[in-house]
């Protein structure tokens, strides 16, 4: 029975020490975290949530054709202003039809390239063969 009482007293002592340490840490944390900062953070968060909800509501609403046209005009104006600010001379896309041009299939281009390579290889082999005939040292090989 005495051993149980001693063990229980040691556990109580450890618990009291833990509570004291926890209380000190909590007091230090509370000093670092002022109420004004917490309130400001809560206000900022509430404002950000309200702003996001407003954006979501706008995006979910259906725009009329006039609204969409007005938005596109505003976008074009902003793009012009930005181009002027950067002093860029942006090219204009052609309005008319593009001229017709014959489209060469990649296979045809590859075949032409292969034929040219074969001709070059044959010419090189012929030149090597001619040189070996004209050179007595190479003719023996």
3-state secondary structure the chain: CHHHHHHHHHHHHHHHHHHHHHHHHHHHHHHHCCHHHHHHHHHHHHHHHHHHHHHHHHHHCCCCHHHHHHHHHHHHHHHHHHHHHHCCCCCCCCCCCCCCCCCCCHHHHHHHHHHHHHHHHHHHHHHHHHHHHHCHHHHCC
At residue 57's C-alpha, the angle toward residues 56 and 58, to 5°, is: 90
Span 51-85, pLDDT tens digits: 999 888 887 777 778 888 898 999 999 998 888 87
pLDDT confidence bin for 141, thresholds 50/70/90: very low
Greater pLDDT, 140 or 122: 122
Q: How many CB atoms lie within 10 A of CB 73?
A: 10
At residue 76's C-alpha, the angle toward residues 91 and 78, to 5°, is: 105
Kindly report the pTM of this predicted structure: 0.30
* Residue carrying structure tokens 């990649």: 106
């Amino acid at each position: 029975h005495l051993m149980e009482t001693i063990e229980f007293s040691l556990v109580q002592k450890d618990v009291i020490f833990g509570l004291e340490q926890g209380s000190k840490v909590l007091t230090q944390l509370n000093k670092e975290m002022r109420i004004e900062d917490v309130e400001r953070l809560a206000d900022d968060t509430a404002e950000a949530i309200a702003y996001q909800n407003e954006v979501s509501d706008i995006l979910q609403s259906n725009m009329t054709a006039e609204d969409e046209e007005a938005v596109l005009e505003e976008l074009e104006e902003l793009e012009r202003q930005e181009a002027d600010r950067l002093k860029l001379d942006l090219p204009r896309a052609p309005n008319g039809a593009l001229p017709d041009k014959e489209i060469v299939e990649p296979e045809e281009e590859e075949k032409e390239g292969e034929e040219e390579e074969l001709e070059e290889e044959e010419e090189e082999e012929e030149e090597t063969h001619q040189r070996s005939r004209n050179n007595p040292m190479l003719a023996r090989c």
